[in-house]
Amino acid sequence: MRIQRNHLLLCLLVSLFSCSSNAAQEVRLEGRTTAQGHQYSLFHPQGLAVQVVNSRPAEADNYNQLSIAAAYTDLDTDQPLDLLVCQGRVLQPKAKVGFLDGVLTMVGDSLTIGQISRGQSPPGTELERVRQQHGTLFLQELLVFRGKSVHPDGGSVFQRRALAELAGHRFAVVESVGDNLTMKQFGDDLLELGARNAIYLDMGDWDEGWYKTGSRVVKLGHRRTETSRQSNWLVFVKPAAAVD
């Protein structure tokens, strides 16, 4: 009940800011509820560029508007796990995790969610293509692909977060309000919310994130116990010409 109240207050806060002529909304918050009663927050970037970085985005930087953890973190080294290419730099030549089947590729203005066989790596020719174009490619768990929920049953329950491709090649960050979702249920819900493709983003104890509404920074995630060990972030940023 407390989570539901917090979600309602968050939506009301964003609505108040959106009514102000002085508050430009680079990230639009939408609250949705599925047929089974699961509540979600959808964060819609408005005219923002997206990038993956492996140094912590500064909240005080006027460019940064939405920041969340992206690929998993290696528990032994505290380094990004299966972030294969980052802004044209090859960090890993092949996958280390045997159960990841989703690929997020970012080249210029193009953002693509793809699928690979579990335990496999993208072809070396694809990594080289992304490197040459100064792009980014990382592996994560695939939740929705080509309009189908694809994650298997089982597993633990947590608060969940994903990057979802909606109709019209529009992207949104989708975060559950509750902490009681398996990956399979999350994938089913994402499909109901309109996802054509969706890839998971690191959560659990690594769930700390934030977004801005006007000049206010709103924290995301419920646990935030391993924030200091986060190793990479998906960040939505203003174009340079739009920064005051």
Question: pTM value?
Answer: 0.89
Q: Which two tokens stand for residue 1?
A: 């009940």
What does residue 125 show for φ and ψ, rounded to 5 degrees?
Answer: -65, -35
Q: Which two tokens stand for residue 209?
A: 């994130």
What does residue 197 show for φ and ψ, rounded to 5 degrees?
Answer: -140, 150
Q: Is the pLDDT of residue 17 over 70?
A: no
Report which DSSP code applies to 6. H
In this predicted model, what pLDDT tens digit does every residue of 194-215 receive, in sequence order?
999 999 999 999 999 999 999 9
Is the sign of the CA dihedral 49, 51, 193, 176 positive or negative? negative
- Write down the domain spans for the chain: 2-242
CA distances from 45 to 64, 167, 238 (A): 11, 15, 10
Q: Which residue is listed with tokens 């969940």? A: 160
Q: Which residue is listed with tokens 């335990």? A: 119
In this predicted model, what pLDDT tens digit does every residue of 152-189 receive, in sequence order?
999 999 999 999 999 999 999 999 999 999 999 999 99
Cα separation, 62 vs 68, whole angstroms: 16
| CB 56 within 8 Å of CB 233 | yes
Residues 6+ apart with CB under 8 A from 25: 14, 17, 18, 46, 213, 214
Q: Which residue is listed with tokens 């994938």? A: 187
pLDDT at residue number 7: 53
Cα separation, 122 vs 55, whole angstroms: 25
